[in-house]
Amino acid sequence: MGFSKLVSLVLIFHLLNPTVVFGSSSSSSDGLSEIPKKFLDFAKRKELVDWMVGIRRKIHENPELGYEEFETSKLIRSELDKLGIPYNYPVSVTGVVGFVGTGKPPFVAIRADMDALPIQEDVDWKHKSKIPGKMHACGHDAHVSMLLGAAKILKEHIEELKGTVVLVFQPAEEGGGGAKKMLDEGVLDNVDAIFGLHVTHENPIGTVASKPGPLLAGSGIFNAVISGRGGHAAIPQHSIDPILAASNVIVSLHQLVSREADPLDSQVVTVAKFQGGSAFNVIPDSVTIGGTFRAFLKSSLVQLKQRIEEVIKGQAAVQRCNATIDFHDKPVPLFPPTVNDEDLHELFLNVAGNMLGNDKVQDMKPLMGSEDFAFYQEAIPGYFFFLGMQDESRPKLRSVHTPHFTINEDVLHYGAALHASLATTLLLNAEEKLVPDQAGDQLKETNMSVYFHDYSSGGPNSTVRAAPQLRIGPVGRSRGIFVTASLDGVSTYVSLSILFTNEAYNSSTIQIQGTSIQFTTVREYGVVSWTGKFRYAHGFVIFETSSFDRFTSYAIIRCDISVYHYKHMVNLHTDKVARILGKVESNDRFSRIALYQGDQSSKKVRKIPAAAANVNESKDPFKDPTLLCCAFKKHRIYLFRYTNLQQDFY
């Protein structure tokens, strides 16, 4: 088969413009600019403030740890019932998800965490924690109160909502990964964006602080048991000293960042726990150490995890000890970095500036703390910000996660009004574009190239069409493609796996001339390459494979890349393959895919469930004038089918 005919059977990838368009400060209408002020005035009403304060104090008196927030959840549901707001419960054990608005797209989410901490409160006041050893020491009681306040504002102004606001009351933020659990249960299906906030004692009341791009680090924890052989301290030669081994481990771990990390890639490894021995003259049998590691790149987190395990086992072995390490990453994986969407940052600046004044909207430096809100941001555009509550006329507030932490309740109306204003403004600004107006805009930010192995030429070193300088050296068959990719301007290479329903050849590394992309293996009949610059290229790729006339298959492929690129985090996720020809395989991980089907003549599309995507099986798929596209995050990828060799959908 000739190359031109092979090309005619290939899919064309088109990345569309973002589905949500946000107005800049210079283009905000008078109506939009008045919403934050109006909502703030509403939130300041005494009856609403007293209501929020009362809810916050009830929750504070009865703190509950992660996935134990049953009474908190009951209180939330009771208040939503009074407001006439429908909700789903239970979600992720104790979570509640409410809905305000039209019940139709677009959807925007606002989130509050509900859980407390295992800390004994040391603040004497009327509403002190009634549960020994438990305390709301991170402000989650205030977060819940503010989100309920936002719900009340939205309900009172429901006629202004041009879509639906999803109220996410999330359990288990404090290490339990409640956001990941809620995400896996489909809470953000069809949601276009999500906002979250956190109170802070570091900034004055009436101010907010955030930034675009990486805001909070990703994190992981580790616990290691180093085992030797105990004995008397006077005769250490008859023992195997785990304390000495653990000491060497700690020194080596603290050198990982200074000697191995890129100085421009902030990372931290801290050993904060050391337990071993109970007598001054006895060498113990074992020592336990533990700590945390943090970074602003997911790839750096993965690298740190690997090296921490190697260092602990290696240094223990040097001292004749054994070591076991637990990263506590099951069922909750490493927390990814919290990366704010740049378009949502512009929206935030507009809304917060109109509400508080531009001088009250502060830019902040990235923090090495972490937040499971980042799991949401891996799936859809998200924005996280901090709400100041320090009153200069009052004593200095104490830090979070301490027994002395307190909330300035004068902050509650600010949080409620900001939540409601951000959601309402985004819905008013939202513009859905299923088909681009100008084809020239489709590849403005992301380019994809497809190269094909000219199999007909045969031999172990066949050329790749469209890049004749490339050579492929198949060395065997495999059920998958394993790719190492790098983007322009990025020094690190990130591995990813792409699974196929059909067999593939392994091959030697391919260097594509003119780009920094590399492939370590190739498809039996084709090579797919990513070229150009990525900008928030989150999403699914619909990929069509063809091997001449013998078979035709269609697959949804989730690709996994996490790299830092021009102040953006690029996250593409790898997962299983699903066949589109006929029915898509049932797979709950595909619940976030929005599939559309349309026809050539009308250009109209209709949304179809991922589990029931049905291409007309009775027709030749290349003669069936339908299109499938996959919408995820801010980009859509269209699969075009040709009715003949010259005609497509434009």
Residue with tokens 């616990």: 223
The rounded mean pLDDT for the chain is 71
Q: What is the pLDDT of residues 286-310, one digit of tens each?
A: 999 999 999 998 889 999 999 999 9
Judge if pTM exceeds 0.75: no
The third-level CATH classification (topology) of the domain covering 218-326 is Alpha-Beta Plaits (3.30.70)
If pLDDT is split at 50, 70 and 90, which confidence band does 504 have? very low
CATH architecture of 25-215+337-429: 3-Layer(aba) Sandwich (3.40)
Higher per-residue confidence, 62 vs 432: 62
List, by residue range, all CATH 3.30.70.360 domains of the chain: 218-326
Q: What is the pLDDT of residues 138-187, one digit of tens each?
A: 999 999 999 999 999 999 999 999 999 999 999 999 989 999 999 999 99
* pLDDT score, position 223: 97
* pLDDT score, position 429: 87
3-state secondary structure (DSSP) of residue 164:
strand
Q: What is the dihedral of CA 502, 508, 513, 518, to 10 degrees?
A: 70
* pLDDT score, position 566: 23
State how far the Cα of 476 lies from the Cα of 590, in Å rounded to an integer.
31
Residue with tokens 């909207």: 361
Higher per-residue confidence, 607 vs 587: 607
List, by residue range, all CATH 3.40.630.10 domains of the chain: 25-215+337-429
216 near 367, Cβ under 8 Å?
A: yes
Average pLDDT over residues 573-579: 26
Q: Is the pLDDT of residue 205 over 70?
A: yes
The full DSSP string for 76-108 is HHHHHHHHT--EEEEETTTEEEEEEESSSS-EE
Q: Is the pLDDT of residue 513 over 70?
A: no
Q: Is the pLDDT of residue 457 over 50?
A: no
* pLDDT score, position 298: 85
Task: Report the share of the chain in percent with pLDDT over 70.
Answer: 62
User: In this structure, are strands 164-170 and 107-113 parallel, antiparallel, or unpaired?
Assistant: parallel
Q: Give the residue from 381, 321, 394 showing the smallest Cα distance to 345.
A: 381
Residue 573: which residues within 8 A CB-CB, separation 6 or more?
378, 538, 558, 559, 560
Lowest mean pLDDT among 229-243, 348-362, 554-568: 554-568
Residue with tokens 């703190």: 63
Residue 419: which residues within 8 A CB-CB, separation 6 or more?
110, 146, 147, 149, 150, 195, 197
If pLDDT is split at 50, 70 and 90, which confidence band does 327 have? very high
Describe the chain by its helix, strand, coil percentages, rounded to 5: 30, 30, 40
